[in-house]
């Protein structure tokens, strides 16, 4: 039987979103910004974040995968859908749900640099530095979390639990189904 254990509450998440939006708004001060969500996990965080920013923004999405149906990263990043918005000369803020090994964030940063972005920064709701296997910089971090598999607020396990308003660990889930 799968049970959920609360790790980060809805209130804590919303306070974090406000803090990050303020920092980003101050850093870009009325500069146009292309905000790119890494699908699927970031869409709820991105939605709340951009509504709290006070900037002229465009929004686009990129779809990558490294997890499939497992709770462990495969280590191989696959691009399924790139952005449609022209990137050259723009400030790009990539919004991630979580950075752990760093492979996906590193891939995304290089992807936008190769397209000629003026700047590329990464904002992640969650950061698991203990799992880092590459030296990628996360410019804006919501919460640093221990090495636990989390669901809720857009994060899933096998395409379930994204709708939860807070973040939870799951107990009773096989580590490598």
Residues 113 and 120: beta-carbon distance below 8 Å = yes
Gap between the Cα atoms of 86 and 100, Å rounded: 28
Residues 66 and 96: beta-carbon distance below 8 Å = no
Task: Give CA 103 to chain center in angstroms.
Answer: 13
Residue whose entry in the numeric block shows the structure tokens 């723009």: 90
Gap between the Cα atoms of 53 and 49, Å rounded: 6
Active site residues: 100
Gap between the Cα atoms of 144 and 122, Å rounded: 14
């Amino acid at each position: 039987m799968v049970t959920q254990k609360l790790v980060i509450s809805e209130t804590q998440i919303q306070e974090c979103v406000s803090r990050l939006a303020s920092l980003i708004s101050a850093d870009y001060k009325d500069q146009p910004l292309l905000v790119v969500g890494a699908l699927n996990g970031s869409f709820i965080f991105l939605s709340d974040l951009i509504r709290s920013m006070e900037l002229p923004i465009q929004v686009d999405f990129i779809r990558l995968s490294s997890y499939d149906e497992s709770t462990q990263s495969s280590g191989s990043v696959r691009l399924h859908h790139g952005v449609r918005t022209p990137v050259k000369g723009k400030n790009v803020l990539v919004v991630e749900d979580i950075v752990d090994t760093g492979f996906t964030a590193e891939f995304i940063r290089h992807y936008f640099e190769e397209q000629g972005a003026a700047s590329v920064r990464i904002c992640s709701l969650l950061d698991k530095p203990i799992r880092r296997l590459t030296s990628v910089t996360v410019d804006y971090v919501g919460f640093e979390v221990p090495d636990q598999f989390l669901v809720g607020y857009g994060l899933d396990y096998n395409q379930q639990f994204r709708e939860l308003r807070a973040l939870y660990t799951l107990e009773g889930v096989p580590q490598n189904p």
